[in-house]
Structure 1
Amino acid sequence: MITNGRFSLEPKDKFKGRIIGYRHLQCLLLSIGLAVIFSMRVNISVAIVAMMDNKGANPDFPEYKWSQETKSHILSSFFCGYIFLQIPAGGWSRRFGGHLVLLLDVIVTSMLALLTPLSVSLGGGNMLCALRFCQGLLQGVTFPTIATLISKWAPAEERSVLQTISFTGAQVGIVIMLSTSGMLCSSSWGWPGTFYLPGLLGLVWAAVWFIFGASSPRDCKLISADECAMIEESLGHDKEKHELRAKFPVPWKQMLTSKHFLVLIINNCAHHWCFWTLLTQIPSYIQSVLGKDIKSNAFLSSLPYISSLVLTLVICPFVSWFEKSKLLHPTVSRKIFNTIALWTPIIPLITLGFLSPEQSDLAVGMLTIIVAITTFIHFGFAVNHLDLAPNFAGTLMGIITSAGNVMSIFAPLVVGYIVTDTTNVRQWRVIFSIAAALIFFGNLTFLIFGTAKIQLWNEPQQSNTLEIEPLKGKIIEMENTQTNAAKNYEKV
């Protein structure tokens, strides 16, 4: 085991923590919260089909004759707002606590979801774009905040598994929303129900999170003293260092010039382009190319994400054992899982562009494989920011997701520009080929430049000088942690 003072850079050889503890409740709450957040994010994918064509849906609600260009603007407006608060969110979570930031995020986003049907009736497509922009702006803090919370709650030995459990909520939210949205659109609630239901659930979750959530074990009143001590010992946190780390300046120059970090941005951009192209366009593809009605469309749209969720639950224990056994170097392990996640879907993606409506079952099978297999990214580049710099996990996540969501803006717009006739399979072929090319390039860069080694800039550069603490007149001696980190880095 390699250590730097009290801070462990590698998991301990023998893990002494309880199998189930309060940290698991925190991750479960984060997972459920992320499910609610994602249900408010993806509800528009099926709702907009019913809003533009109410055949198969409840005809008692308004129908809007928007063009494909307007539809693309509506689908991408969320991501236009999503990119702005990603980077500062990591700093806010470190300063004010992830508990408060996430609580406010969900409450306000839920209120906007409840106001969506009224906004559309008053302002049409323009008002819907504005509201989705605001929702995206607020939800931009979600992943950096969750990353900060996980960095405080997850022992080094359980890091990958607890992050995967937390992030699995995104798949749960997608599955639930896509699988129920067809029934909601056809019910007495109509398409507004796809906004009312997740909005109400968001407010319920916020109340539970307010009571049981906490920014860190040290801030939690319900955790046992033994579990709190175990987590902080694993992460190397003591009160003095905990306070100092909260004040560390972000090493922007070293971070933004690190090839190992930049490759994570490239991979996330490639993955986001593919993921959000499929997520926002699968309902339209299934309806226009495969000729399915709104109810079967909703089920088929959710099937790939159901498979992804099941696969995640199946492989999580295996990956946990695999990583703890240390059969392979962590860098090799990350690259293997990343390759499975990003290169396996390439052939199915290209194949989709050559299928006819008569091969709808095969097309759904290809979509299922593509989405399900990408769950392996949770053990590849998606967790790599915690390897590189756990002290700045929230900030790294903010930069990565902010860059990736630029792709989420352009992907629907490119689809709207290329696919002028949604029944033309040749136009869809171009869309799927672009996605395949991007994920091929993304994983290629990770294979060349990716690493699981902790970076020197994870610890601040300090010198052995005496500083007078303001207002208290107290003299403290600062440690030269940069030197220790450099020595440990060479041993990894």
Structure 2
Amino acid sequence: MRNALSPLLVFMAAELDLTTSQKGNLLSAIAAGYFFTQVPGGVLADWLGAKNVMTAALTLSALCCLLLPVVVDSLGLSGLWGVMAVMGAVQGPLFPTSTVYLSKWMPKAAPGGSDEKAWGTGMLDIGTSLGALLVIPAANSLAGTFGWRLAYQSIGAASLGFVGIWQVMAAEEPGRCFYISKTELAFLEANVPKQKPKSKDQQQDQDGSGLLGMPLALALHQGLWAVFFAHIAFNYGAYYLTNWSPTYYSEVLNLTPAQAKYHLMLPHVTNLICKSVNPLLVRVVERNGVSLLSMRRLFTVSGFVLAAACLLPVYRLRNHDPWISTILCSMANACFGLAPCGFKANYLDITEKYVGVISGYGNTLGTVGSWVGPQLVAFLLHRFQSWDVVLLSVALVNVGAALNYVRCSTVTPLERSLQTPTKKAADPKTN
């Protein structure tokens, strides 16, 4: 739903006569709303259940798609920005809530087994890639035939249909799933970490978490910020490709939406392929004796650095066949597909008690990249009149985040490092 704006913006710009700055402002509207609802989303997941929060978010997003054309016709550009910001706000809880949801289903590594946390976050990202892939031909075809208004409303109606399927098939936790096998249920009950009832001492510790929802020392830990900085860099780079590629192919490579359709789809195809083979790559790395921490660093750094290397020469090759640019962008997006097994899976490593809160903060900070990104790209284009500067900024942010991740990342639950020596000695699991 939110990715429909990028391909449809080409059609909307022709009708509404949008400037580059206005396009950047619209592309950052979702992030503007998304920014404020991350942490509350994690809290709501604890209160109302992850499934209920996700149902509400999907339903309200679909209604935004259905109402958007009416609001634009009534209020113009400001109405369009407002609806996109509201869509971002209602979708804000999805990432932290999804992480809470996964934490109830993804088992710890069993003897002889593989890293299913990486598999789970990989499947979650595959859904994102599928949506981004499918919306391009669907939006372009619908808008080319019926106009962008009906395209948005069709996407909203289809999304409401999915909500019904989700409500029937999804389960908050394994014990509530009506079609799970007894063997699988027994395995998950034995291997999925469960939060234990808090003792008086633990309740006192929790009280010390204050307004942050977690202890201050944990919130300032460099291992946590390594994940956060990686998330910001990822959103800036990956969403640059999603948000600005339709404009780039239209204004720089001079392709019509119909001609650009397959060029815009291919990067999402390669991203999806990479995410699909991630479980196999994880098994290969594990069989070679690579530690969990080294594996997280390997996937994060290789994804970021290789993506930067692929993007840097794209604008220099603009006068050659457009497929050269498409191949390079596709290779870069494939590299971004390695991230779920890196820093994103790390969200499930670094905490046992604060999954929703940390995921909420992480995606809030990641949203900074999503919001600043389109604004920064528009500014750089206006100031320097060159996409080279834009691509250089993406590369520098990616490489910087990768270096910081190597230096500071960890896979040890951070709350363990906050225990007093007395408590550590009393806990046999930490000895």
1:40-92 deviations in Å (ceiling 9; x for gaps): 11111011101122xxxxxxxxx212222222211111110001010121121
1:380 to 342, 346, 371: 342
2:58 aligns with: 106
Amino acid at match of 1:203: L
- How far, CA to CA, are the matches of 1:312 and 1:481 in structure 2? 41
Q: Determine if the alignment matches structure 1 residue 419 to structure 2 residue 381.
A: yes
1:28 aligns with: none
Q: Residues 182 and 299 of structure 1 are in contact (CA less than 8 Å); yes or no, is this contact kept in structure 2?
A: no
1:228 aligns with: 185
2:401 to 437, 442, 458: 442
Q: Residues 99 and 359 of structure 2 are in contact (CA less than 8 Å); yes or no, is this contact kept in structure 1?
A: yes
1:340-385 deviations in Å (ceiling 9; x for gaps): 1001122222111322333422111111111111111111111101
Mapping of 1:274-293 within 5 angstroms? 274-293=237-256
TM superposition shift of 1:484: 5.2
Mapping of 1:58-457 within 5 angstroms? 63-157=15-109, 158-187=116-145, 189-237=146-194, 250-320=213-283, 322-323=285-286, 325=287, 327-420=289-382, 427-457=386-416
TM superposition shift of 1:488: 4.1
- How far, CA to CA, are the matches of 1:436 and 1:390 in structure 2? 33
1:130-163 deviations in Å (ceiling 9; x for gaps): 0001000010000001000000011123221122
TM superposition shift of 1:221: 4.4
SS at match of 1:215: coil
Query: Cα 1:402–1:208, aligned 2, differ >3 Å: closer, same or farther?
Result: same
Amino acid at match of 2:5: I
Q: Indicate the RMSD between aligned Cα atoms, in angstroms.
A: 2.6
2:11 to 32, 39, 50: 50
Amino acid at match of 2:375: L
TM superposition shift of 1:418: 2.3
SS at match of 2:96: helix
1:14 aligns with: none
SS at match of 1:351: coil
* Structure 1 unmatched ranges of 5 or more: 1-39, 54-62, 464-479
Mapping of 1:470-489 within 5 angstroms? 483=425, 488-489=429-430
Aligned identity (percent) is: 21
Query: Which deviates more, 221-230 or 78-87?
Result: 221-230
Q: Residues 91 and 395 of structure 1 are in contact (CA less than 8 Å); yes or no, is this contact kept in structure 2?
A: yes
- How far, CA to CA, are the matches of 1:392 and 1:357 in structure 2? 50
Query: Which deviates more, 175-184 or 258-267?
Result: 175-184
Query: Which deviates more, 274-283 or 439-448?
Result: 274-283
1:226-246 deviations in Å (ceiling 9; x for gaps): 43332121024387579x999
- How far, CA to CA, are the matches of 2:217 and 2:329 in structure 1? 39
1:169-203 deviations in Å (ceiling 9; x for gaps): 0000000012332212211x221233123211221
Query: Cα 1:301–1:235, aligned 2, differ >3 Å: closer, same or farther?
Result: same
TM superposition shift of 1:214: 1.9
- How far, CA to CA, are the matches of 1:264 and 1:455 in structure 2? 13
- How far, CA to CA, are the matches of 2:190 and 2:417 in structure 1? 18
Could you say which structure has the higher helix fraction? 2
